[in-house]
């Protein structure tokens, strides 16, 4: 949930991993202490489903400063629902709306210095969800 745009790198990103065994997907974490991290490269196995089958999706949402200086996310519940719908189509563990919105909030809070002043643009978030499990064949 964070990356650099126009050569501006974020301070932190949100990284959560779940192991999917069949259709019983485990819960995602709401613990910012465990999931809010410095932006670093990811390590993937060469047979991960994202690399071999494109089992991935993304959303894009904006955080902007209001006139009063507070930061707001633009329609995060809509983005969360689209991610759930897409995850179900791609056999990926859907991210609950509460987790999606909570993670977006935490990323924006930890990167607040990058949110432009009112009327000067927005901070763009790019939530990603992808199959990182090793093994050939599309599967949850």
- The pTM score is 0.82
What is the C-alpha separation between 15 and 29, in angstroms, rounded? 10
Question: Percentage of the chain with pLDDT > 70?
Answer: 80
Residue with tokens 């987790």: 99
Query: How would residue 2 be classed by pLDDT, with cut points 50, 70 and 90?
Result: very low
Q: Is the pLDDT of residue 21 over 70?
A: no
């Amino acid at each position: 949930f964070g990356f650099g745009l126009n050569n501006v790198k974020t301070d932190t990103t949100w990284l959560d991993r779940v192991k999917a065994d069949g259709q019983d997907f485990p819960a995602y974490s709401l613990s910012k202490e465990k999931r809010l991290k410095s932006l670093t490269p990811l390590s993937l196995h060469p047979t991960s489903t994202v690399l071999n089958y494109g089992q991935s999706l993304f959303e894009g949402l904006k955080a902007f400063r209001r006139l009063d200086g507070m930061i707001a996310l633009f329609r995060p519940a809509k983005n969360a629902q689209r991610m759930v719908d897409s995850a179900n189509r791609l056999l990926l563990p859907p991210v609950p709306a509460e987790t999606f919105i909570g993670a977006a909030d935490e990323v924006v809070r930890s990167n607040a210095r990058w949110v432009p002043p009112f009327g000067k643009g927005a901070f763009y978030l790019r939530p990603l969800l992808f199959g990182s499990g090793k093994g050939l064949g599309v599967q949850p």
